[in-house]
Amino acid sequence: MKPIDLRMEGTHQGAIEIARNRIIFIIVLFTIGFLMLAVKLISIGIFQAHSSSYYPTVNSNGSLLMARADIVDRNGVVLATNLKAPSLAVSKRNLKSPPKEIATKIAAIFPEITYDDVMKILRNKANHSWIKRKLTPKQLYAIKQIGDPGLEISDAEKRIYPHGRLLAHVLGALNIDNKPLSGIEAYFDGELSDPAKSEEPITLSIDIRLQHILNQELSLYKEKFLALGAAGIILDVTTGEILALSSLPDFDPNDGKGPLSKVELNRILQGSYELGSGFKTFTIASGLDNNVIRQVDSYDATYPLRVGGFTIRDDHPKKRWLSVQEIFVYSSNIGTIKIAQDIGIEIQKEFFEKLGLFSKTKIEVFEKTSPQLPKQWGPTELATTAFGHGIAVTPLHLASGVAAMVNGGRLIPATLIRKDIVPAALLNFVSSKVKPDNTSRQVISSKTSEIMRKLLHFAVEEGTGKKAKVEGYEIGGKTGTAIKPFENKRGYDDKAVISSFISIFPINDPKYLIFAMLDEPQGIEETFNLISAGMTAAPLVGNIISRVGPLMGIPTTHKGEKEYDDFMLVSGTRK
């Protein structure tokens, strides 16, 4: 039996062929479309991803963010983070409304932008131009209401500093284009801007609670004494970690401009000052550690001393022979110079250099200055540097050096990074200039360090630092009242001083160092118009200790109990 051969002929066969061809054509179009889309996605993933160090990345919370890590304090409190901040641009080829109409509407939304400003932007040759960065939600809504396709909204981010001015000099700031200007932001920019590490915050040594205390007290005393500026630091003498650092006047890092004038510089790291009697700590320690002097040795401080054509006097003259202990406790310039003369130029220079007083600190910011050293070292320079004149250093130099005098003799580089949780990426950073320095070295013996603790304690108990006393705490400290040199001519201005006080507590088991200074404080009735450190900076530091001690759980001593009750201020005959 023959198979049935069914065939469609005529118009029916033609219709089926046409339908089949159309289906094949549609399948080919879809295939080409998918291939083009795949190529585009691969192109974006490979090439565009590497075109910018600030390309967006999806964080764990699902939001599209610039790849810049947070900065947090030692307890995890956020100090710098990112928030979405859309920006407005104009694409001239896509504008549908007349330029004058657009300019009028935009000027009405942004009071700081004039009609002429917008017209100038619309008339320039560039097709794409920025009009306003970092729009508020209200401004964004108003722009969208205009409805012109030529007004383009770009998703971007703004770096936010939740505590405002409080840590401006530590954190630094980013400009309007999210490029770092200063501080930690600039020093660790490579680490912070690495997209692969955007979820790994940098943990600072700063304790925001102590920062609040330091800043509040400095602000209060700056206003009280009508000072040009004020600055302070709280340092852990056992680790070198900076727990608080403040300099006034400061600036608002949220405005994207950074410091605008010289008065807003970081006085702790950039200010170079003759800090006065704080240097007597180093001179006495040098003499003791080099076996040049003993505690009971005495020097004649009866009369003023002539050095290099200048007459050196004591601010608190006793007009008698003073033991080494009394020279320090009563802050005798005359006695200190005579000790330095016995030490000699070479030994003194070597000791200062060992303390790091001849070079920049290694703190993790770029804004730091070198000490200003004598051009030559002769008898005059030996004498003046012994009590903190003729040599200008930053307050951090002084703080690090004094910390070494009390912590057993170890000079530990100061750091803004919390040491016990330093990220491996920071420790292995390629550039040595951004590698935290965790080294320390012995600069005086533990025996000399013990003597210096006793001397510093009695300088508060019986000497010029009495107003820094805080009931319940054993405190050591040293005043520093330094006359400022004229800016535009030689010589010193008797009416302008740097008043500072550096303290350590508890002095029997040193943990915290607190330094505070006032730049040109003015006399007030409360201090009988005196502007010395004992009347201005010492009570300022006392207030800080009274708040920091309880907060940090420092135990108090019983009333009347003294750690160094067998340490007497007595004069002896020098052998």
Which amino acids are annotated catalytic? 277
Interatomic CA distance for residues 416 and 435, integer angstroms: 12
Sign of CA dihedral 443, 447, 448, 451: positive
β pairing state of 56-58 and 492-505: unpaired
132 and 87 in contact (C-beta within 8 Å)?
Answer: yes
Alpha carbon dihedral 286, 290, 291, 295, in 10-degree steps, equals 20
Interatomic CA distance for residues 80 and 416, integer angstroms: 15
Interatomic CA distance for residues 415 and 237, integer angstroms: 11
Report the b/e string of 160-196 with b at 16+ CB within 10 A. Answer: ebebebbbbbbbbbbeeebebbbbbbbbbbebbbbbe
β pairing state of 202-203 and 71-72: parallel
- Cis peptide bond prior to 506, omega within 30° of 0: yes
Q: Tokens standing for 359?
A: 């070079």
Residue that is written with structure tokens 């001179």 in the block: 283
Interatomic CA distance for residues 58 and 65, integer angstroms: 6
The residue type at 501: F
Strand-by-strand arrangement of the 242-248 sheet:
242-248, 229-236, 512-519, 492-505, 476-485
Residues in a beta bridge with 512: 236, 505
The residue type at 134: K
What are the E-state strand segments in 330-475?
410-411, 441-442
Residue 508 CB contacts under 8 Å (≥ 6 apart), including other chains: 453, 457, 474, 563, 564
Q: Tokens standing for 398?
A: 């002084």
Which residue pairs, CB below 8 angstroms and at least 24 apart, start in 146-149?
146/97, 146/102, 146/105, 148/95, 148/96, 148/97, 148/102, 149/91, 149/94, 149/95, 149/96
Interatomic CA distance for residues 479 and 485, integer angstroms: 19
β pairing state of 78-84 and 128-132: unpaired
Interatomic CA distance for residues 293 and 341, integer angstroms: 11
